[in-house]
A and B are shown apart, each in its own frame.
Chain A
Amino acid sequence: MSTVSTTHDHAHNHAHDDHTPHGWRRWLFATNHKDIGTMYLIFSFISLLAGGLMALGIRLELFQPGLQFFRPEFFNQLTTMHGLVMVFGAIMPAFVGFANWMVPLQIGASDMAFARMNNFSFWILPVAATLLLSSFLVPGGAPAGGWTIYAPLTSQMGPGMDMAIFSLHLLGASSIMGSINIIVTILNMRAPGLTLMKMPMFCWTWLITAYLLIAVMPVLAGAITMVLTDRHFGTSFFSAVGGGDPIMFQHIFWFFGHPEVYIMILPAFGIISEIVPAFSRKTLFGYSSMVYATASIAILSFIVWAHHMFATGMPVTGQLFFMYATMLIAVPTGVKIFNWVATMWKGSMTFETPMLWAIGFIFVFTMGGFTGLILAMAPIDIGVQDTYYVVAHFHYVLVAGSLFAMFAGFYYWCPKWTGYMANETRGKIHFWASMIFFNITFFPMHFLGLAGMPRRYADYPTQFADFNMIASIGALGFGLAQVYFLLFVVLPAYSGKGEKAPMKPWDGAKGLEWTVPSPAPHHTFETPPSAEQMREAGI
């Protein structure tokens, strides 16, 4: 961190009147979108490592049938916390970090609209994460009811559950503030002449995502508050004994939860839509249909929630409605994939690390899309609901989807963030190692699920042993690949080891971010971008 500030200070020795605070004040009182973006990214990477460690614990126990290392109670805590930490601590804050860094730069704004709220929404996160993680230390341990925290199992948990609930409240508040900031910034602070339909796709996908967040985070807050009062204040929202309904929790949760999965993937679509044209040296194909497809996915995401609940025993009309609506999502998602492929078509492609990750994303994410389509079909879903097939599916879209897109984004914008190019060879090693180990880990899970191995099991029949062992080995490799990324790619880039980055390191890239120096100075676009900058940016 200190090295980052050195670089910045170095670039700004001449301008000591830019009010850059120094030392810890710079970070604790940060109002600069770049500093806050960096903090978001650091926070989410730490969460990724913490959640990854839990995943490795899970894979260690599942390396062989039988209970070797953990009691099942602790195993359930690991699966629950792995999910919560990855969703709320890693993926979501990472995308907010990307937005903080890139949205103002891409729209030619001087900063985010509400700089102090930006600071607050970040600093809530470490507090919430500490609260969540320290639930491991209280009697009864961390929550062990799955990241979906289904009632009434949550009523059996110890005080760790309450800590998780308060932590989710805080994380939700942070997300809502972040979203308000992004929406206001995008709607009000675009450079003159940068109309909505000329805006970079990353800003578009984040604008839509921010609306989704504002719509559904309060729903989650409501659901978990009801769990809290059921646990402590004698209400019976989700307990049949007092006239409540456990399935009601699932409806409310998934009304949040399904848009949530699009919250975690739409910004990824945005990043990919920036990178594919840049390295194909060709304009993004079907810009407006991309915007419409993103919006359609967002709207459809509100009417498909109960496909997570086919096994609860819905009436036949309910099953049919949610099956049809879910399958419809394949249409706009397909449009996006086709547009990316059409962008590559007859391009002049090169395959630097960001492009490798982007192509890897399209390839593996599409596989997750196919299994999503298969899962949408209610009769098949009855066969694989709550099995490893579902685990495979959502890791294909969340790891190979969201996470791979973020790696693509890191390699693409690293020059702008650090002033140095990420090492190409090491980036490629990171890519291929992640890609191969990812598939070793998660591909066999499709077979386990089809054969009937339920998820969240601390132990399993011996017939499942080989695939589980392969998955565990893959998981270890995948984890090591990320440690490699931290030690051999990220830290060298941030500590200024490597090739110095020019203002625009990618010849096919477009956008205002490439019209400011690398690293981006502490303050950018204090005056709106010039006509020349706009022309350079391709607007």
Chain B
Amino acid sequence: MNLFGKVTRASLYLVAAFGTALAHATENMPGGPAVNQLNFAAPATKIMQEIHWLHWMMLVICALIFVGVFGVMFYSILKHRKSLGHKSASFHESTTVEIIWTVIPLLIVIGMALPATKTVVAMKDTTNSDITIKTTGYQWKWGYDYIKGEGEGISFLSTLSTSREAINNLAPKSNTYLMEVDNEMVVPVGKKIRLITTANDVIHAWTIPAFGVKQDAIPGFVRDTWFRADKIGTFRGQCSELCGAEHAFMPIVVKVVSQEDYSAWVAQKKKEMGAGGDDPSKVYTLEEQKERGAKVYAANCAACHQPNGKGAGAFPALDGSKVVNGPKAGQFNILLNGKNAMPKWAGVLSDGDIAAVITYTRNSWGNKTGEVIQTQEIITARGQ
């Protein structure tokens, strides 16, 4: 768009914004931020309760010092003015006073550090967990693998479910705008959950404010942290380490459920995974693959290549692309192994999903190859 267009659009937005600003403010987000929230999230773990307490303690101490120091300063500003005829005194040092105001802050600081120490030690104690979940940060989604305890073996990806239209102001924004996902992490209430974090590409950070947990997910390394939610409900957070263009669009949602509900969820999830396991010998029709591929595309590809396949900026268009309309092997290679900003999808998406999404891209928008890619072809390509 030319500069004039941009300026015009900008001024229109500014005018419109004033009118709609307050109408915009939705209700509080369940498990997420409240409208104009002033303090930390309401605690859902004991650790977060302690953080609340520490924060209040610090606020009170700082407020007292504030009143003390600025009380003296503003008193002096009001009274010791030349305009009131105040003559300046000549004192300019006092060892006693200086020692006092070095030692007292030192004592205050020690007083602050002691209770914090207890919490730091508690936050780092990841032993004796009931369930261990590996969390992997991807550009730009989260992957969860339940690796120990009830639910062991469950594994899924968790992607933003807010529509691109809502983000681009073409559709209304819901109450959970940007903090909603397709598959939430599900954990039982009252159980100690140990999280192991890692990442696939760059550093991400997993956080749920209400749990008092924030842990970087570092590619090639594992770190751990833990939480024990004491409330049933849904809790939300957002990736907290700059991880590239879509940093703002990879939220974290944790559903804390009762033990019975958790067992039911595990049973159901296992059943789904059993059924969902691709039978490599099965031959799908074009329509079946396109339908499945559309979902995979929306969750994994649309962020960069856009829902209309036109791409944006550095991300190439798929609609009319030489690779997508060319020999299959070329597209297999890029999806499986990645290229430049394109991540490697082998091991992230299942072979069935990759086959489906390739079928979708080769038969959508202006692309009409008519080819149906089967799971077996991906397995073969991956083996090469």
Contact = CB atoms under 8 A, between A and B. Distances in A.
24 contacts: A63-B14, A76-B244, A156-B244, A239-B219, A239-B220, A246-B220, A311-B241, A315-B124, A316-B124, A320-B120, A345-B89, A349-B82, A366-B69, A373-B112, A374-B62, A380-B58, A382-B213, A383-B209, A452-B237, A452-B238, A454-B247, A463-B28, A463-B33, A465-B21
Interface stretch (A64-72, A184-192, A423-431, A477-485): A64-72
A451 interface: yes
A465 B24 contact: yes
Given A246-B218, A316-B120, 10 more contacts: A73-B314, A152-B219, A247-B221, A282-B92, A289-B98, A313-B197, A334-B102, A350-B83, A379-B123, A447-B36
A349 B38 CA distance: 38
B25 A466 contact: yes
Interface stretch (A199-207, A323-331, A397-405): A323-331
Contacts of B92: 282-287, 343
A221 to B, nearest CB: 23
A126 interface: no
Interface in B249-307: 249
Nearest to A328: B109
A385 interface: yes
Interface stretch (A85-93, A142-150, A167-175, A251-259): A142-150
Of A245, A370, A467, the most chain B CB neighbours within 10 A belong to A370
Contacts of A66: 166-169, 173
B87 interface: yes
B216 A312 contact: yes
B323 interface: no
Interface stretch (B72-80, B326-334, B351-359): B72-80
Contacts of B241: 150, 311, 386
Interface string A54-98: 000000100111111101111010000000000000000000000
Given A64-B21, A452-B41, A459-B178, A311 B69 contact: no
Contacts of B124: 315-316, 319
Secondary structure at the B interface, as helix, strand, loop or mixed, is mixed
The 3 closest A-B pairs by CB, nearest first: A240-B220, A313-B223, A451-B37
Interface of A: 60, 63-69, 71-74, 76, 139-140, 144-146, 150, 152-153, 156, 158, 239-241, 245-247, 280-289, 311-313, 315-316, 319-320, 323-324, 327-328, 330-331, 334-335, 337-338, 341-351, 359, 362-363, 366-367, 370, 373-374, 377-380, 382-383, 385-387, 447, 450-454, 456-467, 469
Contact of B36 (A67, A289, A379, A467): A467
A463 B35 contact: yes
Contacts of A379: 47, 50-51, 54, 116, 119-120, 123, 212
B179 interface: yes
Contacts of A245: 220-221
Contacts of B36: 447, 463, 466-467
B34 interface: yes
Contacts of A335: 98, 101-102, 105
A462 B24 contact: yes
Contact of A383 (B51, B91, B221): B51
Contacts of B218: 240, 246-247, 312-313
A392 to B, nearest CB: 13
Contacts of A338: 69, 101
Nearest to A244: B220
Nearest to A283: B92
Contacts of A337: 69
> What DSSP secondary structure best describes chain A's contact surface?
helix
B232 interface: no
A65 B38 contact: no
B158 to A, nearest CB: 17
B341 A156 contact: yes
B381 interface: no
Interface in B91-110: 91-94, 97-98, 101-102, 105-106, 109
A383 B56 CA distance: 13
A65 B173 contact: yes
B32 A461 contact: yes
Contacts of B98: 286, 289, 335
A312 B247 CA distance: 17
B102 to A, nearest CB: 6
Contact of B35 (A323, A334, A466): A466
B81 interface: yes
Contacts of A247: 218, 221
A113 to B, nearest CB: 31
A462 B25 contact: yes
B202 A345 contact: no
Contacts of A144: 244-245
B322 interface: no
A241 B220 contact: yes
Contacts of A289: 93, 98, 102
Among A312, A315, A341, A463, chain B packs the most CB atoms within 10 A around the CB of A463
B239 interface: yes
Given A140-B314, A328-B109, A469-B17, A459 B29 contact: no
Contacts of B312: 71
Contacts of B73: 341, 344, 359, 362-363
Nearest to B304: A73
B205 interface: yes
Given A63-B14, A335-B102, A450 B40 contact: yes
Contact of B121 (A316, A351, A386): A316
Contacts of A458: 247-248
A451 B102 contact: no
Contacts of B216: 311-313
B13 interface: yes
Residue from A63, A68, A311 whose CB has the most chain B CB atoms within 10 Å: A311
A337 B70 CA distance: 10
Contact of B29 (A383, A385, A463): A463
A456 B243 CA distance: 10
B39 A69 contact: no
Contact of A240 (B25, B69, B219): B219
Nearest to B108: A330
A313 B109 CA distance: 24
B214 A382 contact: yes
